[in-house]
Amino acid sequence: MRLTKFEHAALLLEQSGKKLFVDPGVFTTPITEAAETVAVVITHEHQDHWTPEQLNRILDASPDARLIGPEGVVTAAAEAGLTVEQVQPGDALEVGPFRLRFFGGRHAVIHSSIPVVDNVGVLINEVLYYPGDSFAVPEGVAVDLLAAPAGAPWLKIGEAMDYVLEVAPRRAFGTHEMVLSVAGKNMAADRLAWATEQGGGEYVALQPGDTLDL
């Protein structure tokens, strides 16, 4: 399985000639190479994790691709004329060559004035875990590769470091970083690398467009 990191929170997984996208949102370059896509996983409804335009571009290339997300995404996408399959924590699906397991349930708190929305973390092929906008730990899972959030209105770097320490992945890379300056991205990478190494893991400094074979 091959991982490609895009800007911000978007990821592409490829296996056996098939594609799985995760969280293609407004901060991500328009996705045009989407033939052979079997599914798109959307962790929650915020626009930095999905837009109708991104999903429609993917569906134009792969009309049978399944859109998958929690209840809040189902509702938001329906308003844009898109049908999303609802999942919740504890669910497991097989889509083409990809096995998906879902964890968590709620977005991290941004502020008391901002509603907390549905959010699911996703474990892909028992290898890659991405928590969406949450600190949800996949209980009972030895995480091989963690997509660790680096910067967001809902976190400070110490919380991100504690999260990586708790998950203790074998490898990790930073994601959700387009809200940071270049200096902020570098600082976050250094801190997340330290946290990964405390558990004996390796930090992989992926940049948008970089790939990693899993």
The per-type count for the chain, helices as H runs and strands as E runs, is 4, 14
- pLDDT tens profile 68-83: 999 999 999 999 999 9
What confidence category does residue 173 fall into, taking pLDDT thresholds of 50, 70 and 90? very high
- pLDDT tens profile 186-213: 999 999 999 999 999 999 999 999 999 9
**Looking at this protein, which amino acid is placed at residue 57?**
R
Q: In whole angstroms, what is the distance from residue 43 CA to residue 143 CA? A: 18
φ, ψ for residue 209, nearest 5 deg: 95, -15
pTM, two decimal places: 0.96
CA 186 to chain centre: 20
1-109+118-132: in CATH 3.60.15.10: yes
Residue 54: per-residue pLDDT:
98
Task: Give domain limits for the chain.
Answer: 1-109+118-132, 142-205
What confidence category does residue 152 fall into, taking pLDDT thresholds of 50, 70 and 90? very high
Q: Tokens 């189902």: give the residue.
A: 74
Q: In whole angstroms, what is the distance from residue 214 CA to residue 122 CA? A: 16
Residue 72: per-residue pLDDT:
96
